[in-house]
Amino acid sequence: MMHNLTQNIPMLLLALTLLIYFISVRLYQSSNRNILLLPVVTAITLMIILLNIFDIQYSHYFESVEIIHFLLSTATVALAVPLRNHFHLIIEHAFPLTISLAVMAIITPAFAVLSAWFFNADTTVLLSLAPKSISTPFAIGVAEEIGGYPPLVAAIVIVTGAVVAVISSSVFKVFSIHNPIAQGFSMGLVGHGIATATALEMSMKTGAFSALAMGLMGVSTSVILPYLVLWFI
Amino acid sequence: MKFIIYIPLFIVFQLAGDALKTFLNLPIPSATIGMLLLLIFLFIIPQNKNITNAAQKLLLHLPLFFIPAGVGIMQYTEILKQDSLALLASVFGSTTLCFILAAWFTQRLLKSEKI
């Protein structure tokens, strides 16, 4: 009996993850989309608490839910669809968007490093913070290149995305950012995939520009950052 | 229900991206390569409502797909504690600042384009 139970733990963890996601989404919807109850944040927090209570190692958990992780790449590929549907707008605004990208691709990692340097963080932490605004697979590649600590980078990247997702609607209100293209593009530039999920909730158009910015920022940061680091250190 | 047959299409492009990355030894993540390949494909075929529908259905659950990677934070609480002040300043402070800057700057550029 006990043997059967432990054998089924991977399936239980998979089911539990789906259940927690469902609960988190419901909680968010019933709170009238209170951004502090952002589903991805609630779900990750609850899952960590449960794994700690039942003393389950992360590596074991990850193996059990790898199929969900696989679908993250599938969904990333599917972002081509809103990009295709809004391609005429992307071409139309290619010039301002390129300028915005070029400026932010330098400012974002520079600010990330400077603010931590001010508080005397050690070099590994500084280098792990530099790629915090690009999606995880890019960020980990860059971290390996410049000498950051990849697992720490992954954690930093996810929290950064969640910060952008949480503050986005307040920032747009306070600073009168009404243009959905500017909204989506800035969310993708600074908050990568996690903010893109929130942008898609605003509209497919906002989501398309967030996806565009995320891809462009990922490519340009991974090219620029290794040179920027050489220059500073 | 027709949209469901398009989910495998996305997976095919995902695997193609993976293969191309390995084959050409590209420094770009395989999902991004897959996305670019699908984008090219979508320009070749006529626009299709079912593909849009399938992508929408899948992207609706994007937050779910971040959970396995996100839970990984639990392994690094020790490191996060060590440099907590610096990390907080950077992850919260500089992220907020850069985001405001990005939103304002992008909108400003888009406005000046119209004049």
C-alpha–C-alpha distance, residues A118 and B86, integer Å:
7
C-alpha–C-alpha distance, residues B79 and B86, integer Å:
12
C-alpha–C-alpha distance, residues A221 and A43, integer Å:
29
Choosing from B46, B65, B84, the residue where a domain stops is: B65
Query: pLDDT band for position A5 (50/70/90)?
Result: low
Q: Are residues B54 and B85 in the same domain?
A: no
Residues 6 or more apart whose CB falls under 8 angstroms from that of A106 comprise A224, A228
- Whether this model's pTM surpasses 0.80: yes
Choosing from B32, B49, B65, the residue where a domain stops is: B65
Q: Are residues B79 and B52 in the same domain?
A: no
Return the DSSP state at B46.
P
Q: Which amino acid is at A122?
A: D
Q: What is the mean pLDDT of chain A?
A: 89
The residue among A74, A90, A153, A179 with the most chain B CBs within 10 A of its CB, best to mutate, is A74
Q: Are residues B77 and B113 in the same domain?
A: yes
Query: pLDDT band for position A7 (50/70/90)?
Result: low
Q: Are residues B14 and B57 in the same domain?
A: yes
Domain residues for B35? 1-65
Q: Are residues B58 and B15 in the same domain?
A: yes
Q: Which amino acid is at B84?
A: S
pLDDT in tens, B66-112: 899 889 888 887 777 778 888 889 999 999 999 999 999 999 999 98
Residue A64 CA, chain-centre distance (Å), reads 22
Q: Are residues B44 and B77 in the same domain?
A: no
Mean predicted confidence (pLDDT) in A102-131: 90
The CA-CA-CA angle for residues A94, B30, B76, to 5°, reads 105
The larger pLDDT score, comparing residue B97 to residue B115, is at B97
Q: Are residues B58 and B18 in the same domain?
A: yes
Q: Is the pLDDT of residue A99 over 90?
A: yes
Q: Are residues B10 and B61 in the same domain?
A: yes
pLDDT of residue A3: 53
CB contact (8 A) between residue A93 and residue B112: no
The minimal CB distance from A77 to the residues B31, B60, B93 is found for B31
Q: Structure tokens of A28?
A: 């968010």
Q: Are residues B28 and B76 in the same domain?
A: no
pLDDT in tens, B47-67: 888 899 999 889 889 889 989
Q: Are residues B51 and B106 in the same domain?
A: no
Closest-approach residue (CA) in chain A for B13: A77
Q: Is the pLDDT of residue A1 over 60?
A: no
The minimal CB distance from B110 to the residues A44, A68, A96 is found for A96
Query: pLDDT band for position A78 (50/70/90)?
Result: very high
Which residues in chain A have Cβ-Cβ distances shorter than 8 Å to B62?
72, 75, 193, 196-197, 200
Report the candidate in A34, A17, A202 with the shortest Cα–Cα distance to residue A191: A202
pLDDT of residue B41: 95
pLDDT in tens, A157-201: 888 999 999 999 999 999 999 999 999 999 999 999 899 999 999
pLDDT of residue B114: 64
Choosing from B23, B49, B65, the residue where a domain stops is: B65
pLDDT in tens, A204-224: 899 999 999 998 898 888 878
pLDDT of residue A233: 61
Closest-CA distance of chain A to residue B4, Å: 13
Q: How many CB atoms lie within 10 A of CB A146?
A: 21
CB contact (8 A) between residue A104 and residue B83: no
Query: pLDDT band for position A63 (50/70/90)?
Result: very high
The minimal CB distance from B27 to the residues A21, A52, A222 is found for A222
Q: Are residues B53 and B86 in the same domain?
A: no
CB contact (8 A) between residue B94 and residue A103: no
pLDDT of residue B73: 85
Q: Burial level of A12, CB count in 10 A (0-12/13-18/19+)? A: middle
Total beta-carbon pairs less than 8 A apart between chain A and chain B: 296
Please tell me the total count of domains within chain B: 2
pLDDT in tens, B6-16: 899 999 999 99
CB contact (8 A) between residue A78 and residue B93: no
Q: Are residues B35 and B17 in the same domain?
A: yes
Q: Is the pLDDT of residue A154 over 90?
A: no
A94 and B CB contact within 8 Å: no
